Structure 1
Amino acid sequence: MYSFDLLLAEHGAPVLAGIKTANLITCRRAWYPDLPELLKTYQAVFHDRGVRFRILCACDYRFLLLIYRPERLLNDLASQEARTLLMQNGYPMEEGLDALLEHLSERIMTNREFPHEIGLFLGYPVEDVRGFIEQRGKDCKLSGYWKVYGDEQAARRLFHQFDRCRDTARGYIERGMTILELFAA
């Protein structure tokens, strides 16, 4: 079992460091049964730093936790291409970020297939999200944090940044620092 801080270092460090819009973290309910209560502390500490935590889905076995930067996310979703893709999937584009996240949560919980437009909420380039949908996940140029159908070199640079950030954060947590000390002090 990972400590929650180590889980955040592994999967949320680039968001906490401000170099990624959002990330989705699967939290086993058996390991983090009190996650909703635990998140209150993190919400309070990171709120002023522009980071939010939201459980998108909860079932008997897991929580799907979205860690995100709202301002950056709104900016990512503002392009005409992103808006069009989201509107095609019924997203209420004029109702604000909370309504969009609520719709995403509903789609996760009610669809047999995971909603591929989630990549837009995680800061993936629109061309990569569209490419994944159109190609059904096949024939990508590169596979890393996401499947790349557009600018492979830019994606490689980002993936490298994310890896360095994750590895650095994990090292500090493994040496006894808390995620709050590392990113919120």
Structure 2
Amino acid sequence: MSEEIFVHYCSPTLAGIKTANLFSCRFEDEKEMRDSVRRLNVALVKKGIRVLPLRYRDGCALIYVYRPSKLSQDLQQADACSLLEKRGYTFGAPERCIIQLMQRLADGEEFPHEIGLFLGYPPEDVSGFIENRAKGYKCVGEWKVYGDADKAKETFAEYQKCTEACIARFAQGNRKAGYILWEK
């Protein structure tokens, strides 16, 4: 996985303004994917960031980049706990919830839309998406919004500005942009 792809898809998480990002990436084989994830974790764990392959199928990995401390805070919100409980999660440590999410992705019966909670989306928007079957939303950006549209639009703009700035730095030759620029 190239650093360019990583910076493109994960800038808000790397910058510390978002809980997590998720993206798909092609790999020749599972060993290559695991080696790439291992190298990223060596560089990023000391900055409070973890990288996990949530699923590997048909040469494509679903890569989850997250800040464990932020995820823990997000999943402790009453609305998030309630939604996860309704969806069959046994809450404990966030890592336990991630393992359950991975199992749901592997089962492949129905996409686990509660994944939005793992990405830092507002619980009311995740719940609204599930309950309304992705219809009747107020606005759309990084996610479909059912709650506070004005706040969500501000957040979308902040994520976009962050991503554009990080991509620009990377394009100017700062090849370590994904690992050094963010000290949070």
Of 120, 125, 128, the residue aligned with 1:128 is 125
What pairs up with 1:1-185 in 2 under 5 angstroms?
4-30=2-28, 34-94=32-92, 96-178=93-175, 179-183=178-182
Unaligned runs of 5+ in 2: none
Percentage identity across paired residues of the two chains: 36
Quote the Cα distance in structure 2 between the aligned partners of 1:152 and 1:42: 34
Which one-letter code corresponds to 1:85 in the other structure?
L
After superposition, give the CA deviation of every residue in 1:98-129 in whole Å (9 maximum; x if it has no partner): 21111000101113221010000000000000
For 2:61 and 2:84, locate their aligned partners in 1 and report how far apart those are by CA, in whole Å.
24
Seen in structure 2, the aligned counterparts of structure 1 residues 83 and 17 have a Cα distance that, compared at 3 Å, is same
After the TM superposition, which of the residue ranges 123-132 and 110-119 deviates more from structure 2? 110-119
**How many positions carry a matched residue from both structures?**
181
TM-score, with structure 1 as normaliser: 0.91
Q: Is the 8 A contact 2:16 2:182 kept in 1?
A: no
Q: Compute the TM-score of the two structures, normalised by the length of structure 2.
A: 0.92
Q: Secondary structure at the match of 1:42?
A: helix
Residue type at the aligned position of 1:42: L
Separation of aligned partners in 2, 1:112 and 1:38: 28
CA RMSD of aligned residues (A): 1.7
Aligned partner of 1:58: which letter? Y
- Three-state SS of the structure 2 residue aligned to 1:183 is coil
Q: Find the aligned partners of 1:25 and 1:19 in 2 and give their Cα distance.
A: 17
CA deviations on 1:122-161 (whole Å, 9 max, x unpaired) are 0000000010011100111111100000000111111001
Q: Deviations 1:36-62 (Å, cap 9, x if unpaired)?
A: 112222212211211100110011231
Q: Is contact 1:29–1:60 with CA below 8 Å preserved after alignment?
A: no
**SS of the counterpart of 1:124?**
coil
Counterpart residue identity of residue 35, structure 1: M
**Which ranges of structure 1 fall in alignment gaps of 5 or more residues?**
none
d(CA) in 1 for partners of 2:29 and 2:125?
33
Whole-angstrom distance in 2 between the partners of 1:180 and 1:77:
26
- Distance between the aligned counterparts of 1:8 and 1:39, measured in 2? 11
